[in-house]
Amino acid sequence: MDWEKYLREEALRDYENYVSPGKIKAYRLLGFDFIPARREGVWIYDDQGRKYVNCRSSGGVFNFGHRPEELIAELKAGLELFDLGDHLLASGPRAALAKKLAQLTPGDIQYTVFGVGGGEAIDLAIKLARAHTKKPGVISALGGYHGHTGFALATGDEDFKKYFGPLAPGFVQVPFADLKALEKEMDQTTAAVIFETIPATYGIKIPPDDFFPGVRRLCDQFGAVMIIDEVQAGLGRTGRLWAIEEYNVVPDIMVMAKGLSGAIYPMSATCFRPFLNRFFEEHPFIHISTMGGSEIGCLVTLKVLELTSKPEFLAEVRRKGDLFGKGLNQIQKRHPRLVKEVRHKGLMIGIGMPEPKYGMLLTITLAKNGVIALFAHNDPSAMIIMPPLIIKDAEISFVLEALEKSFTELEKF
């Protein structure tokens, strides 16, 4: 197929006719009504040659940008020896990746079960917590987001689940970062407490320093499993390999996905402490994922972990996060009516605005100014800025200039 011609002339029409006319309507409203063609580093080029900095990164999928050469090379080399692998057989690449994760994750986390996406990995975490504790209750945060599959959907906000009828029972939500509310809801029927370290879809809400130590204490008190969702906050996004390291807490289960793929091959992981593995020792084939832990995908993820865990790489993320923070603080001073709050850890950035309508308006104006970013679904008054971690200083300046222009336009509006 002549892809360049197809992307330029037919792809958008075929997407509308055969994939989703509803999405195309939304894209037109937001200014995203184009087919991404060439993509390189932080940049996406549309079918007309216009370019945009990707400050969405699909929640962390594009931590190393688009089409990262080192990861593509790893995939090509792996194809000389490996394929998907049979999920029912032992696997060298899976063993090597699980060992690396055991070395890099906090505390005594040792075992890993691989999947394809974050929702699948969250589902397994909840299944494991219930199987281990033999209790039904699962507590999550209002405004949180853990995916669109069964148990993951049940942990989330009403907007995503209200159309699908009765979901699994036993799920309740409490305000994020509210230890008193959490303690009030917990009892001897609580199997698990699950939180994102920093809730992205809620607008990058940064918890206080004592929150996660308090969650750990309550889980120990009530015999509940502490599950931390690092699908978006992990893998260097905050300037630490894992965001939970900021709080000196070891969860019982840690879930990761998105960035593990290197934007090259789907991968997710549910990592857990040894005491939880007793259930899998009794039932080793109770959970399977046909495509989970693909052997060629494991090779890509091993390279992702090698690159991400380098101290100099993480230091650069923190430096660039500070650069963004300084620029946004200046923008806030110039536009105090629109920029109410700047929240960030490393390159996980949220901009709080006075009303929900401004999230959509800023999304549209940023697109006109060459930046793809999206308001937070569970708090539309917040804009999420999550660029690839490899973004350069000049590209940060481009994004800051686009934000300045966009807020100036919104002031006129």
Query: Which stretches of the chain drop beneath a pLDDT of 70?
Result: none
pLDDT of residue 301: 98
pLDDT of residue 9: 77
> Helices 21-30 and 11-18: crossing angle, nearest 10°?
130
The answer to whether residues 279 and 128 touch, using CB atoms and an 8 Å cutoff, is: yes
Closest CA to 178 of 151, 230, 218, 232: 218
Q: Which domains does the chain have, with CATH numbers?
A: 36-67+311-412 (3.90.1150.10), 69-308 (3.40.640.10)
In sequence order, the β-bridge partners of residue 139 are 172, 193
Q: What 3-state class would DSSP assign to 296?
A: helix
* Type of residue numbered 336: P
The answer to whether residues 59 and 260 touch, using CB atoms and an 8 Å cutoff, is: no
Residue 282 burial (CB < 10 Å; 0-12/13-18/19+)? exposed
pLDDT tens, position by position, 199-214: 999 999 999 999 999 9
N-term to C-term CA, the chain: 45
